[in-house]
Amino acid sequence: MAGDLKGNRVVVLDWVPDKNSKAPMYRQIIDYISTKISSGDWTIGSILPSQRTLAEKFGVNRSTVVAALGELESFGIIKGEIGKGTQVISNTWSLLISSATPDWGNYLQSGIFKENMPTIQAINKMEFEEGIVRLGTGELSPKLYPSQMMEEIFIKLSQSIASLNYLEPLGLLELREILCERLKRKGIQCKPSNILITSGSLQALQLISVCMLKQGSSIYTEAPSYIKSLQVFQSAGMKLNGVNMDLEGIQYWNIVSKRKSEEDALLYTIPTFHNPTSIVMSETRRKELFKFCTDNRLPIIEDDAYGDIWIDEEPPKPLKSMDENGMIIYLGTISKALAPGLRIGWLVGSESVVDRLGDVKMQTDYGASSVSQWALKEILSSSYYDQYLEEMRIALKYRRDLMIAALEKYFKDLAVWEVPKGGFYIWLNLKEDVAMEKLFHSALKEGILLNPGSIYDFKKNNALRLSYSYIDETDIMESIEKLSYVVRSLKR
């Protein structure tokens, strides 16, 4: 075994995965590395080859290696550091998840919550690698962070917060009161008792899935849909059903042919700047959809994460603005418009629903971050926030137009797309079939991280979710040009 500059040993690879095995490739890699460590062949301090080298030696995609190493790192067996590579740091957990009893691998596979698709696991890991251009990331660029506004908010907080004790079960009352006032602008009439503060809107979906729906229930949603990239409903034993869209939104009439008359079901929809397509449901379609769901007793979860991020014109009012009987649970969040790190969202529903979900939330985390709730209360009540939104829309328009110009220059013969009127995304449909997994890995070799459309859809597609919100402005033109070369190379 060769040594590194510090005398640590670089491990020797003497195995390749069995491609005929029923066990997933990444699971075989986990078992192999665990066995080598638990047997003493790879001692603490040993250095693993680079991800690229491991992928070549094992004959697998880099994302498979990333998923395997990520799980091993989560157990504290290995640790990757920039400039130091990936080292073996412990053999304790490897002894437990190796073939010896107990078999932790079986426990992991039999747990209630399903694991992410390998591509999504790879995306989650690679987003934080040095030198990667994130061409599909669904958050704002750090350059758009309103540092001066936030500095003033936190200075004010440091002088005004008397304690950081737990808050009431539904969340900070002052924050819920301010949200009521802001929701009135969207046509939503509610009281503080109709609002539950959550740790992001994803937690709201998790709360709904564990305490309001039966196993076997059907969730109808747009195809494609952001929710398809998650396992939140599937892990709770529910069935996701995709319903086709057109440029006006979900084709709700197709739900009739899919739905059994007596089944427990609901609709999850993102009508405003839909993720991943950025389609805005027309006002006419919203009225028709609401009537259809009312007539068919089909409750709605309306996700309005992007509602404030309009660029060209203000979108139609949410579906919730038509709801007088509590048929719609409305989800909002600060993660997209301002800062995902605050981890604050809100759920609006009838008092009975909010109380039930609030009770379950108290059992899971005893309330969202007190600091974040106080901070958001100050942000939303300040005069700065609406000014910030205006400036953010101007910045996003510039980025969007820059990416559209790049696509016009390099993708006109390769793909079709619509110009989004808001949100973060351009849904790029390639004109010819391309092996999308190969495209993902080929782009990664060029330092570009993609979000393939397949992770959002119910069937094979030839699409990419491109985002202009996170990528540095100076990287847009070059990255689109580079991506076009990759696509052309795969067409040959």
pLDDT in tens, 365-383: 888 999 999 999 999 998 8
Q: With bands split at pLDDT 50, 70 and 90, how would you rate the model's confidence at 108?
A: very low
Q: Indicate the range of 21-35, 92-106, 114-128 predicted with least confidence.
A: 92-106
pLDDT for residue 101 = 40
Assess whether pLDDT exceeds 50 at residue 6. Answer: no
Q: What number is the average pLDDT over the span 59-83? A: 84
200: left (phi over 0), alpha (psi -120 to 50) or beta: left
pLDDT for residue 346 = 98
Q: With bands split at pLDDT 50, 70 and 90, how would you rate the model's confidence at 402?
A: very high
Q: Indicate the range of 85-89, 270-274, 327-331, 356-360 predicted with least confidence.
A: 85-89
Instruction: Report which DSSP code applies to 85.
Output: E
Assess whether pLDDT exceeds 80 at residue 253. Answer: yes
Assess whether pLDDT exceeds 70 at residue 232. Answer: yes
pLDDT for residue 45 = 85
At 110, list the tokens: 């039999």
pLDDT for residue 75 = 73
Q: With bands split at pLDDT 50, 70 and 90, how would you rate the model's confidence at 220?
A: very high
Stretch (H or E) spanning 353: helix 351-364
pLDDT for residue 425 = 98
Q: What number is the average pLDDT over the span 330-357? A: 94
pLDDT for residue 93 = 52
| CA-wise closest residue to 197 among 19, 366, 439, 422 | 366
Q: What number is the average pLDDT over the span 105-118? A: 56
For strands 239-246 and 249-250, give the pairing: antiparallel
At 66, list the tokens: 């990333």
Q: Give the mean pLDDT of the chain.
A: 89
Distance between CA atoms of residues 120 and 437, nearest Å? 12
The DSSP string of 442-476 is HHHHTTEE--BGGGT-SS---EEEEESSSS-HHHH
Q: With bands split at pLDDT 50, 70 and 90, how would you rate the model's confidence at 492?
A: low
Cα separations in angstroms, 258 against 221, 246, 271, 293: 12, 18, 20, 14
pLDDT for residue 430 = 97
Q: Say what the pTM is.
A: 0.79
Q: Indicate the range of 7-21, 197-211, 275-289, 469-483 predicted with least confidence.
A: 7-21
Percent of the chain whose predicted confidence (pLDDT) is above 90: 62
Assess whether pLDDT exceeds 90 at residue 393. Answer: yes
Longest Cα–Cα distance of the chain, Å, equals 72
Q: What number is the average pLDDT over the span 291-315? A: 95
Q: With bands split at pLDDT 50, 70 and 90, how would you rate the model's confidence at 392?
A: very high
pLDDT for residue 129 = 84
pLDDT for residue 301 = 95
Q: What number is the average pLDDT over the span 347-351? A: 95
**3-state SS assignment for residue 438:** helix
Q: With bands split at pLDDT 50, 70 and 90, how would you rate the model's confidence at 34?
A: confident
Assess whether pLDDT exceeds 90 at residue 43. Answer: no
Percent of the chain whose predicted confidence (pLDDT) is above 70: 92
pLDDT for residue 448 = 95
Q: Indicate the range of 37-41, 145-149, 340-344 predicted with least confidence.
A: 37-41
Assess whether pLDDT exceeds 70 at residue 247. Answer: yes
HEC readout, 119-186: HHHHHHHHCCCCCCEECCCCCCCHHHCCHHHHHHHHHHHHHHCCCCCCCCCCCCHHHHHHHHHHHHCC
Distance between CA atoms of residues 319 and 298, nearest Å? 13
Assess whether pLDDT exceeds 50 at residue 473. Answer: yes
Q: With bands split at pLDDT 50, 70 and 90, how would you rate the model's confidence at 8?
A: low
Assess whether pLDDT exceeds 70 at residue 326. Answer: yes
Distance between CA atoms of residues 391 and 240, nearest Å? 38
pLDDT for residue 4 = 40
